[in-house]
Structure 1
């Protein structure tokens, strides 16, 4: 299920299809042979004393020191075995509760990969196709218009000429009004409909469908939450279950992700890490969010597949290792190896985009649910070409490096702000892990 030909651009990108076939065979072998990730630690094994990569350990101790992040959890899995699993610093601003390996984090956009897996399960079952029109499953999108100029008060609109598909949603090229220069008016229309204030995915998509697209589907990569919220509603409708129940039954349960969900049970809320941001005086303060003041409460009014999950490093480690193992966890096959291979291949080469890279960096493309590293040197990474991963808005990160048989997860809990904020440390963390694994 590839994009249709686009003339010379299509010809330039025929060779990556051959590489995809080779990669799929590699993932099949990996999925059949790989060991499953060890079981979650028991409550008596959640101390911070399991660091095994000294350079990584030293770096994270420094990064969570007096002038750094409040705390962190790092998990590294190599060849199906945990080689580094440690907690650093504190869960709270008062430094009263030490960080634990089972501390719970708001993972925000790392939720998107989970939602993508849910949709791909339905694709494998034949209940959904990547090239299905979204309107086939969500009729409210059957009369989409696209913004052609004007103002928010008097927009000029025209019917779309390209069909909005499920594949567009997964690859963030749907054309929704997600901001950007030249699209201020249509973004204002999006805000006017109060889409984010919807209390259900059904209400979200109903409101969103009233807003014109910023561009024709398939013509602009613009990363945002909107596409994956629509995808989540598609999963809900096609899967026949509320989205949160679908994830629990099909993903969290089989993977033993016992601490992952859209709300944290009251009994576990003491394990939720404080969400910090940089205060006006250069010190860390509690973020001005309801779920920061009430840790464990819902991040959004509806079960957001784009950014609503809480999780732990261990839970997400099992999810990431399942992908590295070709969709398999223990005796359970959640996805086929060929589907996982498709996830981790740059899908932007099959589009009409002038260049198959993201808006963030020429060094990365985008697969189905995460970024794909194309040029490690340009990105400042020591990872292999083809490394796959994503991050969350509050400084949570994961990468899967199939060539190295490596999963690396870093959990912090800080919303970045201006130029004087804490430094971003994910690239250095990843590189220290790579150096320790493959010196």
Structure 2
């Protein structure tokens, strides 16, 4: 295990002055009473301080964080509570709705099929889903009277993985196309086959491969492609090919009744900024499926320990504890920017960032808002779950909470970037 230097931790918290340093350190140590015992309190101080402050009375209900350095867990912290009344301490084995952190898992499933020759990245989606043959896109007009034209290039599997398919996924500039997609109500479908058929009936908003528009539609269609290419239901493929081999025992599309007491409450804020239970089916009945269909875009529950195993598999080149899911070159491709491959290149979503096959990729650390190295890869979930993999530094950082933003109140400050910065300050290069 690499050293976590005292000097790095004191630099991170000493800026308010000596009195401020001791106040933050005392706060950190108090918070660690709810966490796993610290191996070195001063070295933990930057990370502990971020999480202790974030999980105060007006902040997040709780959080679990894990950091692995070259495969060794060098930090584990559990802060806050597992109930709105503040009676139960949050446990490290808490179960979270990981929402969009499901997408990288779905992407790995697709890439496994690519390696096996059962799926091709640049094959038309219509090869697997005939309903997508003869796609058209919107070319003006209104919902009631609109003009459709044939697409000039086929929609491919790579477009699904890179969110460049051209689906109407919201935005003022594509309101008509979005309304036409919403009229098909794909999220009301009972299964992925029905979801895909409904999406195929709506026009695209833009030509495939011309614009990055992040949305779950891309990944839901990818999940259906996986079903067809593998000959298995999507959840069965994930379970037998990814979750069981990686021993992700607490990860799935629903939670067994006996384990539902471990699920962290899903909170939001009211107009006065007070925490309350979110108004979603899984908040009211924790453990139920998030969608009727097995959502490859956002349907999984998981734990910090389980997802760390998945992230470590990617960080270690597609293999974990002797179990190989992907080849090293496939992982390298997954974690490389794909937007520049298109002709012409698709504009990047953020400064210093591109997008790989299922997650963001840091292309320029000097201009990216995220701390880390070139090639860093990761993603997040809507309810405040985050992970990042820095293969150059050998780091995997995982941070899990359960809070949904609300339009009725100012959003809570996001905690991933401050926590990531604290990790880089504490861990020796």
User: What is the match of residue 290 of structure 2?
Assistant: 299
Whether 1:432 aligns to 2:422 is: yes
Contact 1:220 1:353 in 2 (8 A): no
Contact 1:51 1:57 in 2 (8 A): no
User: What is the match of residue 4 of structure 2?
Assistant: none
CA-to-partner distance for each residue in 1:293-322, whole Å, 9 max, x for gaps? 000111111110000110000000000000
User: What is the match of residue 208 of structure 2?
Assistant: 217
User: What is the match of residue 16 of structure 2?
Assistant: none
- Alpha-carbon distance between aligned partners in 2 of 1:248 and 1:199, rounded to the nearest angstrom: 20
Contact 2:250 2:302 in 1 (8 A): yes
User: What is the match of residue 405 of structure 1?
Assistant: 394
Query: Aligned-pair distance for 1:376?
Result: 2.7
Query: Aligned-pair distance for 1:181?
Result: 2.4
User: What is the match of residue 159 of structure 2?
Assistant: 168
User: What is the match of residue 314 of structure 1?
Assistant: 305
User: What is the match of residue 78 of structure 1?
Assistant: 69
Q: CA RMSD in A?
A: 1.3
Greater alpha carbon shift after TM alignment, 106-115 vs 173-182: 173-182
- Alpha-carbon distance between aligned partners in 2 of 1:191 and 1:51, rounded to the nearest angstrom: 50
Query: Aligned-pair distance for 1:110?
Result: 0.5
User: What is the match of residue 28 of structure 2?
Assistant: none
User: What is the match of residue 193 of structure 1?
Assistant: 184
CA-to-partner distance for each residue in 1:411-437, whole Å, 9 max, x for gaps? 010012347221111100001011111
2:36 aligned residue (49, 53, 65):
49
Query: Aligned-pair distance for 1:353?
Result: 4.8
CA-to-partner distance for each residue in 1:42-61, whole Å, 9 max, x for gaps? xxxxx831444232012211
| SS state at 1:304 partner | coil
User: What is the match of residue 27 of structure 1?
Assistant: none
- Alpha-carbon distance between aligned partners in 1 of 2:370 and 2:107, rounded to the nearest angstrom: 25
> Would the alpha carbon gap of residues 231 and 50 (structure 1) be closer, same or farther in structure 2, given more than 3 Å must change?
farther
User: What is the match of residue 416 of structure 1?
Assistant: 405
User: What is the match of residue 235 of structure 1?
Assistant: 226
1:266 aligned residue (244, 257, 270):
257
CA-to-partner distance for each residue in 1:244-266, whole Å, 9 max, x for gaps? 01000000000000000010110
Query: Aligned-pair distance for 1:347?
Result: 0.5
User: What is the match of residue 84 of structure 2?
Assistant: 93
Contact 1:200 1:301 in 2 (8 A): yes
Whether 1:390 aligns to 2:384 is: no
CA-to-partner distance for each residue in 1:75-94, whole Å, 9 max, x for gaps? 00001100111211012212
Query: Aligned-pair distance for 1:398?
Result: 0.1
Q: TM-score, normalised by structure 2?
A: 0.89
| SS state at 2:396 partner | strand
- Alpha-carbon distance between aligned partners in 1 of 2:158 and 2:117, rounded to the nearest angstrom: 15
1:112 aligned residue (73, 79, 103):
103
1:376 aligned residue (346, 359, 365):
365
2:237 aligned residue (227, 246, 251):
246
Q: TM-score, normalised by structure 1?
A: 0.87
| SS state at 1:208 partner | helix
User: What is the match of residue 144 of structure 2?
Assistant: 153
Gaps of 5+ in 1: 1-46
Whether 1:352 aligns to 2:343 is: yes
Greater alpha carbon shift after TM alignment, 137-146 vs 415-424: 415-424
Aligned residues: 391
Contact 1:344 1:368 in 2 (8 A): yes
Query: Aligned-pair distance for 1:362?
Result: 1.8
- Alpha-carbon distance between aligned partners in 1 of 2:326 and 2:84, rounded to the nearest angstrom: 40
Contact 1:199 1:301 in 2 (8 A): yes
| SS state at 1:378 partner | coil
